[in-house]
Amino acid sequence: MKLFFSRNPNPRLAVAVARYLDAKVEFKFASPFAPGQAERFRPLNPNLSLPILVGSGKSLWETDAIACRLSRDAHSDLWRTGDDEPEMIRWLSWGKENFARACDIVHFERGTKQRYGLGPIDQGRVEEGLRDFRTAAATLEAELSEREWLVENSVSYADFRMATFLPFNDVARLPLADYPSVSRWYRQFDEIDAWRDPFQGLEAPELPPVPGSPHEPRSE
């Protein structure tokens, strides 16, 4: 199987899952929106978005579906089944509509738009995202004050999905430190090699820098 990816948040998540599971996939960096690439990738995903998993003449797109497939193939409980599955699905559903969505709004304005020259930061959208982030983070704070991970006592895909945008917080600047239990939960990801650096050893060009960010190359 081939996993087409980029360094953006959802493809990064898919690569982290695949590396965590030691999945038997070939990693292929891709840019479906680059000139001349759309017709190549449209049969694999009509939306042209990444990640895309291709195997046995079929393609699978959407990160959650790919994570489910890879976890099933690896016979891993990263994707919970049985009695824990409803709890995991609850956090996947809530997280995407609340916590991750709020992170995405802020990251898009402060990160994505600035990386790709898509216009000035919309401060109104940033404030909306920060407001939603604080509401969602308060819910997570209460839950994580009583447990290490979201589902039972070990990491699950619910944790991976909830944290999708947090590796990009150097540019999003979300006030994670205001929520000690959420911060403690996310610090645990530093111990997961596949999460900390999912692109290690892969051909994966860096994202364009955000002007004024700590990672922007300095002119001499």
Q: Which helix (H) or strand (E) holds 174?
A: none
Which of 73, 105, 132 finishes a domain?
73
CATH number for the domain spanning 18: value is 3.40.30.10
CATH number for the domain spanning 125: value is 1.20.1050.10
Q: Which residues form the domain of 23? A: 2-73
What confidence score (pLDDT) does residue 218 get?
A: 33
Residues 88, 118, single domain; the answer is yes
What confidence score (pLDDT) does residue 211 get?
A: 87
Within-domain flag for 150: yes
What confidence score (pLDDT) does residue 65 get?
A: 98
SS3 state of residue 90? helix
Residues 52, 135, single domain; the answer is no
What confidence score (pLDDT) does residue 214 get?
A: 52
Within-domain flag for 179: yes
Which of 17, 48, 73 finishes a domain?
73
What confidence score (pLDDT) does residue 134 get?
A: 98
Residues 102, 160, single domain; the answer is yes
- The total number of structural domains in the chain stands at 2
Within-domain flag for 214: no
* 175 burial level (CB within 10 Å; 0-12, 13-18, 19+): exposed
What confidence score (pLDDT) does residue 213 get?
A: 66
How many CB atoms are located within 10 Å of the residue 19 CB?
21
Two tokens, residue 202: 């892969």
Please state the φ and ψ torsions of residue 126, each to the nearest 5 degrees.
-60, -45
Which of 46, 73, 100 finishes a domain?
73
Residues 64, 124, single domain; the answer is no
Per-residue pLDDT 10s for the chain (220 aa) are: 999 999 999 999 999 999 999 999 999 999 999 999 999 999 999 999 999 999 988 999 999 999 999 999 999 999 999 999 999 999 999 999 999 999 999 999 999 999 999 999 999 999 999 999 999 999 999 999 999 999 988 999 999 999 999 999 999 999 999 999 999 999 999 999 999 999 999 999 999 999 876 554 333 2
Residues 87, 165, single domain; the answer is yes
How many CB atoms are located within 10 Å of the residue 71 CB?
22
What confidence score (pLDDT) does residue 57 get?
A: 82
Within-domain flag for 216: no
Residues 115, 63, single domain; the answer is no
